[in-house]
Chains A and B, each alone.
Chain A
C-alpha cells in the first residue's frame, strides 16, 4: 500500500514537473484566425495546447485594382490568407477544406512545419473534401504558408499564401498595435489598369515581370480609409510577409526607422533599420515607436513597384505635433541659382576662354557639349527617341541658326518637329555665356553630318536674352 502511494506521489510529482517546464500539451482550443491587416491577440497561456486550425481554400473573383478583377485562389476567401497564431510547443491539428466549387485541388505547405513537404502531401485535397494532419510547432518565428499543388507557381501567383506566427514560449514584448502586411505580385494578361476580369499570364510570370505588386492582395488594400492607424507615442509591430511568387521586397516605411527588426522572421533582432529585405516565401517582424503624427507610407523601396505597380500602404498616426522631433516646413524662400550646371565658387573667376578660330571653337565647344548636352542629346548627337530630339543630321538645326541659338540661350519648350518626328518636351536655358554658346553650336554644326557652319559670338549676342516673365 505504501508503495502504491509512493508511486502515485512520484507520478504526481513527475506530472507537475511536466507542467512546470511547460512542455506537456494541456487542453484544446480552436485558433482564432484573422484577415489582414488584423492579427489575432497575443497568446497569454503559459503551457502548450492542442490548437485546432480550420482553413478553407476557395476560388473567388475580387477587385485587384479599380475596375480590374481577378480570380483569386485563396486561403479563407481573401488574399493574403488568414493569419494563424500559435505558441511554441503547441500541437496543431490542421483541417484544410477545399470549397466544393473550386476548380482545383489545393494543399498547404506551412514553413512552420518540421516534416517533408511542410504538410503539402498530407493536406492535398480535392474540391468538396477536407484533409486533416497534425504537427508540432517546434521552432518559434514568423512563417509563410502557401499552396504547393502543381503547378506551384500558379497557385502562389493566384494568391495562395499567408502567415503563421509561432509565438515564443516567453511571448513577444508587449506593443500597442499589431498589424499583418503581406506583399505579393500579380501577373495579368492585360497591362496595369486594363479593366475587366484579368486572366493569369504565364509568360509574364516566367519573365518575372508583374504588372501589380501589392500589399494585402490588391491595389489600395492598405491605403486611404483602409490605412492602419496608431496614436502618437504607441509602439507598432508589423508582421510582414512576402508571398512572391518571384520578387524580393525592400520593405520600408517612409519617415520611420524600425527600432527592432526580427530579420527573416527569426529570433535575432537588429536595431535602427531603414529598409529590410523580405524574401519571397519569407518574412520579417518590424517594431517601431511612432513619435510624431502624420501619414507614414509603407513601400517596397524597389520604388517603381510602389508608385507604378501598387506596392503602397499607409499608417496614419494621430496626435499633436512634436516639433522638436520633426519641425515640418519652416520656411519656403525663392532660391535663385546663377548659371546652369556650372557652379561658381567664390574667388577669382577664371578668365573666359576666347576662341581664335574655328578649330578652337570646335575644341572648346566639345567640352561644353559634354558638360551640358550629352545627357539628353547623347554622345553622337542621336538623342533619345520620343524624348530628346537628335542633333545629328538635324533639319531643325540646319534650317535656322537663329532658332538654334535661341534654344540654347533661352531654352525651348512645346512642340517641335525634328527629322519628321514630333517632340514635346522642355529644354532649360543653360545660362552659358555668348562665347560658350557660339562654341558649342559650332561644335554641333561641325559634327555628325551637320552643315559645318561656324557660329560667331556676335550672332549669339544679337539674339536677345529672354529674361523671364
Chain B
C-alpha cells in the first residue's frame, strides 16, 4: 500500500510534465497593441504575440525557499550586493525560514537578477512586458478587456488599498480567461525587459522622447489614456533597477513553446 502511494506521488507530477510544464497554462498568441505602441502618426501598432506558457500564480515564498535551498548563492546571507540590494528577502527570518503564514503568499523583496535565476533554474524565463501585459489584459470572460470600465475600476481599487498588511495567499482571487491568477490585485511582477519601458520619471515630458523602439513615452504617447492601471505599471517598472527589491514586487515565470518539427 505504501508503495502504491509512493508511485502515485512519484508519477503524478511526471504525468503532468508529460503534458506541459507543471502549474503553467498555455496563452494562445494573437494580435495585441501594448499600452505604449504607437507610430509617429499616433496610430496603434499591434504586435503579433506568439503563444507561450505562463505560471498560473506568482512564485510563493515556499517555492522560492526550495530554490535557494538548492542554489545557495541566492540565500540572504550569500547574495552579492550587485545582484540584490539590502532589503533582499527582508521579510524572511533567515536564509531558509519565514513565518508560516507566508508560505503561500507571493515571494517579494526579490531582485530582477534573483527572479531571473529562479526561472532559469526551472528551464523558464521571466515573461516579457508584452507577454505579461497580453495575459493581464484578460478579465474573467474575455481575452482583451482593458477597454471595459469594470476592468479598469477593479484595478484602480487594488491601487486604492493599502500595500502590504492585507497581502493574500496566491489564488485568492478569480482566475482570468486564460486560467491565470493574481496578475492584478496581489503584487507587482518583474518582467524580463522591465527596463525598456522608459518613463523618465518626468511623465509629462516623456511623450517627446519619441522612443518607439522602447515603447517609452508618457501621457501623450499612450494608446489609451484611461488605462490608468497600465500607466502605473509602466511608471513602476521605470523606477526600478535590476538589483532593487521592493516589498510588493514579486514575479512569475513564462516559457517558450518549442516548435514541433
Contact flags A48-90 to B (C-beta < 8 A → 1, else 0): 0000000000011100000000110000000000000000000
A75-119 interface bits toward B, Cβ cutoff 8 Å, 1 = contact, 0 = none: 000000000000000000000000011111101000000001100
CB of A188, distance to nearest CB on chain B (Å): 9
**Chain B binding surface, main DSSP class:** loop
Known: A128-B245, A200-B156, A202-B226. A149 touches B201 (CB 8 A): yes
Chain A residues near B239 (CB, 8 Å)? 105, 124-126, 149
A126 touching B246 by the CB < 8 A rule? Answer: yes
Contact assessment for A61 and B204 in the assembled complex, using a CB-CB cutoff below 8 Å:
no
In B225-259, the 8 Å CB interface with A consists of 226, 228, 231-232, 234-236, 238-241, 244-249
Q: Are the C-beta atoms of A101 and B247 separated by less than 8 Å?
A: yes
Q: What is the count of residue pairs linking A and B with beta-carbon distances less than 8 angstroms?
A: 124
Q: Does A442 contact B (CB under 8 A)?
A: no
Partner of A61, one of B162, B203, B249: B162
Cβ < 8 Å to A, chain B residues 192-249? 199-206, 218-219, 226, 228, 231-232, 234-236, 238-241, 244-249
Q: Once the chains bind, are A120 and B162 in contact (CB under 8 Å)?
A: no
Whether B149 pairs with A203 at a CB distance below 8 angstroms is yes
Which among B153, B218, B241, B246 has the greatest number of chain A C-beta atoms within 10 A? B246
With a CB–CB cut-off of 8 A, which chain A residues contact B249? Answer: 127
- A177-225 contacts to B, CB under 8 A, are 189, 197-203, 206
User: Are A105 and B163 within 8 A (Cβ)?
Assistant: no
Q: How far is the CA of A152 from the CA of B85 in the complex (A)?
A: 28
How many A residues have CB within 8 A of the partner chain? Answer: 39
Question: Does the CB pair B157–A101 fall under 8 Å?
Answer: no
- Most B CB contacts (10 A, CB to CB) among A103, A104, A126, A197 go to A103
Q: How large is the interface on B (under 10, 10 to 19, 20 to 34, 35 or more residues)?
A: 35 or more
* Residue of B with least CB distance to A124: B201
Q: Are B149 and A200 in contact (CB under 8 A)?
A: no
Residues of B close to A152: CB separation below 8 A = 203-204, 219
Q: Determine whether A403 belongs to the interface, using a CB cutoff of 8 Å to chain B.
A: no
- A105 near B247 with CB under 8 A, answer no
Question: Is B161 an interface position by the 8 A CB rule?
Answer: yes
Contact A128 B246 (CB under 8 A): yes
List chain B residues, Cβ under 8 A from A201: 153, 156
* Min CB gap B251→A, angstroms: 15
Contact A154 B228 (CB under 8 A): yes
CB–CB A151/B228 < 8 A? yes
> Known interface pairs A121-B201, A149-B235, A150-B234. Does A104 touch B246 (Cβ–Cβ under 8 Å)?
no
Q: Which residue of B lies closest to A109 (CB)?
A: B202
What's the Cα separation between A103 and B247 when bound, in Å? 8
* Residue numbers in A under 8 Å from B87 (CB-CB): 100, 128
The answer for the CA separation of A373 and B171 in the assembled complex, in Å, is: 65
A18 to chain B, nearest CB (A): 34
Is A202 a contact of B219 with CB atoms below 8 Å? no
B residues 130-164 near A (Cβ < 8 Å) are 149, 152-153, 156-157, 159-164
Q: For the complex, give the distance between the alpha carbons of A152 and B90 in Å.
A: 30
Partner pick for B203 among A60, A149, A198, CB 8 A cutoff: A149
User: Which of B156, B159, B202 lies in contact with A120, CB distance below 8 A?
Assistant: B202
A417 at the interface (CB under 8 A from B): no
Asked if A129 is an interface residue, CB under 8 A from chain B, the answer is yes
Q: Taking CB as reference atom, which chain B residue is nearest A150?
A: B203
B206: chain A residues within 8 A (beta carbon): 150
State whether A150 and B160 are in contact (beta carbons under 8 Å apart), knowing that A128-B247, A202-B152 are contacts in the complex.
Answer: no
C-alpha gap A101/B162 in the complex (Å): 9
**A10 shortest CB reach to chain B, Å:** 45
Q: Are A104 and B228 in contact (CB under 8 A)?
A: no
A148 at the interface (CB under 8 A from B): yes
* Chain A residue nearest to B154 in the complex (CB): A199
* A410 within 8 Å of B (CB atoms): no
Q: A128-B247, A203-B149 are in contact. Are A103 and B205 (CB under 8 A)?
A: no
- A246 at interface (Cβ–Cβ under 8 A)? no
- Indicate whether A123 reaches chain B with its CB closer than 8 angstroms: yes
Q: How far is the CA of A201 from the CA of B153 in the complex (A)?
A: 7
Chain A residue numbers with a CB within 8 Å of B247 are 100-101, 127-128
Write the chain B residue with the least CB distance to A102: B163
Q: Closest A residue to B86 by CB, please name it.
A: A128
> In the complex, what residues of A have CB within 8 A of residue B188's CB?
103
CB–CB A124/B200 < 8 A: yes
Chain B residues near A199 (CB-CB < 8 A):
153, 156-157, 160-161
Question: With A103-B163, A189-B153 as given contacts, are A202 and B228 in contact (CB-CB < 8 Å)?
Answer: yes
In the assembly, what is the distance between CA of A98 and CA of B240, in Å?
Answer: 13
CB distance from A65 to the nearest CB of B (A): 16
Within the assembled complex, what's the spacing in Å between the Cα atoms of A202 and B228? 8
* Contact for B231 among A60, A61, A120, A151, CB less than 8 A: A151
Complex CA–CA separation, A198 to B161 (angstroms)? 9
Residue among B160, B204, B246 making CB contact with A127, cutoff 8 Å: B246
B162 touches A117 (CB 8 A): no
Q: Which residues of B contact A107 (CB under 8 A)?
A: 201-202
Distance between A123 CB and nearest chain B CB, rounded to angstroms: 7
**B244 contact from A102, A122, A126, A148, Cβ within 8 A:** A126
Inter-subunit contact A105/B238 (CB<8 Å): yes
Given A71-B161, A124-B201, A103 and B156 contact (CB-CB distance below 8 Å): no
A120 close to B232 (CB less than 8 A):
no
Give the CA-CA distance A101 to B200 in the complex, in Å: 22
CB A297 to nearest CB in B, in angstroms, measures 32
Interface centre among B161, B203, B244 (most CB of A within 10 A): B203
| A203, B152: Cα distance in complex, Å | 10
CB contact under 8 A between A151 and B153, given known A100-B246, A128-B246, A202-B228: no
Q: Are B201 and A103 in contact (CB under 8 A)?
A: no
**Which A residue sits closest to B90, measured CB to CB?**
A100
Residues of B within 8 A of A (CB): 85, 87, 90, 149, 152-153, 156-157, 159-164, 188, 199-206, 218-219, 226, 228, 231-232, 234-236, 238-241, 244-249
Give 8 new A-B contacts, CB below 8 A, not counting A105-B201, A105-B239. A102-B163, A104-B232, A117-B202, A117-B204, A122-B201, A150-B206, A150-B234, A154-B232
Where the two chains meet, the residues of A that have a C-beta atom closer than 8 Å to any C-beta of B are: 59-61, 70-71, 100-105, 107, 116-117, 120-129, 148-152, 154, 189, 197-203, 206
29 A-B pairs with CB atoms under 8 Å apart are A70-B160, A100-B246, A101-B162, A101-B247, A103-B163, A104-B159, A105-B201, A105-B235, A117-B204, A120-B201, A120-B204, A121-B201, A124-B238, A125-B239, A126-B236, A126-B244, A149-B235, A150-B218, A150-B219, A150-B231, A151-B228, A189-B157, A197-B160, A197-B161, A199-B156, A199-B160, A199-B161, A202-B153, A202-B226
